[in-house]
Amino acid sequence: MTQTHLQAAQLPTVAPARNPGMPLDMAWVRAVQANTSAIERRVATLPGRRSVKGPHQAAWLLRAITCIDLTTLAGDDTAGRVARLCAKARQPVRHDLLAALDMPPVTVGAVCVYHDMVAPAVAHLEGTGIPVAAVSTGFPAGLSPFHLRVAEIEESVRAGAAEIDIVISRRHVLGGDWQALYDEMRAFRAACGEAHVKAILATGELGSLRNVARASLVCMMAGADFIKTSTGKESVNATLPVTLSMVRAIRAYHARTGVAVGYKPAGGISKARDALIYLALIKEELGDAWLRPALFRFGASSLLGDIERQLEHHVSGYYSAGHRHAAG
């Protein structure tokens, strides 16, 4: 891989300034619309127009790895499973593949776990610079008592989580109670302290792309550092139309405030080719500045394995068995 490709695969990881938020601007929120048919036509062109091959594809896939929130959110999670996941986070690609690609070591963007697994994850990642993200606020439904949701954030921060993935109350969006959503998000943001907060919108349950765009904007006004599509537990998770709606809200917020807010698609992104399409969309809509873990993440548990298979194919010309690229 050439030096140019190496530079393409790596971008600065310095985090942008926190999003301080702004007062709720209802005139701006009400003005937000979404032309669903136009959005769907726009994203339908991406798979055919944005195809990268050879060393360029390998570079893009390595960049995708650096933007993965390697995730385990299962009822049978154990400290041992988290230890294996953290080992994979530290070394997501086999040494022989990196050597063949003439690439230095890479790591994933973060490890994402439930609260009880925060402390083991923090211990296993000590000294790596890889942050631990905790899902919180009654994940995935967000229907536990409000004071318990706030307390859950505070407990995860005390346990060492550097990022908190909160879930919003969908009823506020579905009922058009934007003030309630704003107030809720502000309280969650305050409870996070210095930890970055990702607002999970559960877009598959919001009813329309207009609701998705308005909820995105309100959460950013309330101080969300990232907006995220899904918990991964809904029947419909990340989609390209939802992504376009959300990243255009990010672009509008940045144009108005100068604050860069991150984006995280989650749920259902398991193939390397899908990751390339999402990266192409982010590059076109937000620019290269967003193609780094400080501003873009994939919420994924199986994506890494497929990317590693594609990298081995690039090196050897053959596809290997999945067990050669175990996730942990």
165 counts as catalytic = yes
**Residue 198 catalytic?**
no
Which residue, among 130, 96, 106, 92, has the nearest Cα to 6 in the 3D structure?
A: 106
Residues 29, 328: Cα–Cα separation, whole Å: 43
Q: Which of 69, 198, 264, 274 is catalytic?
A: 264
Angle at CA 32, nearest 5°, toward 30 and 38? 145
Two tokens at 114?
Answer: 């439930």
CA distances to 71, 75, 99 from 234, rounded to whole Å, are 16, 16, 39
Question: Catalytic: which of 165, 225, 274, 306?
Answer: 165
Beta carbons of 236 and 204 less than 8 angstroms apart: yes
- Closest Cα partner for 278 from 264, 293, 289? 264
- Reply yes or no on whether 88 is catalytic: no
Burial degree of 80 (CB within 10 A; 0-12, 13-18, 19+): exposed
CB atoms within 10 A of CB 142: 20
Half-sphere exposure of 13 (CA within 13 A, CB side): 15
**89 touches 36 (CB < 8 A):** no
Question: How many Cβ atoms sit within 10 Å of the Cβ of residue 36?
Answer: 12
Q: Give CA angle at 213 (25, 291), nearest 5°.
A: 110
Name the catalytic one among 69, 198, 225, 228.
228
Strand order through the sheet with 68-71: 262-264, 226-228, 196-200, 163-167, 132-135, 110-113, 68-71, 298-300
Which residues fall within 8 angstroms of residue 91, CB to CB, at 6 or more apart?
Answer: 105, 107
Distance of CA 76 to the CA centre of its chain: 23
Residues annotated as catalytic (active site), given as ranges: 165, 228, 264
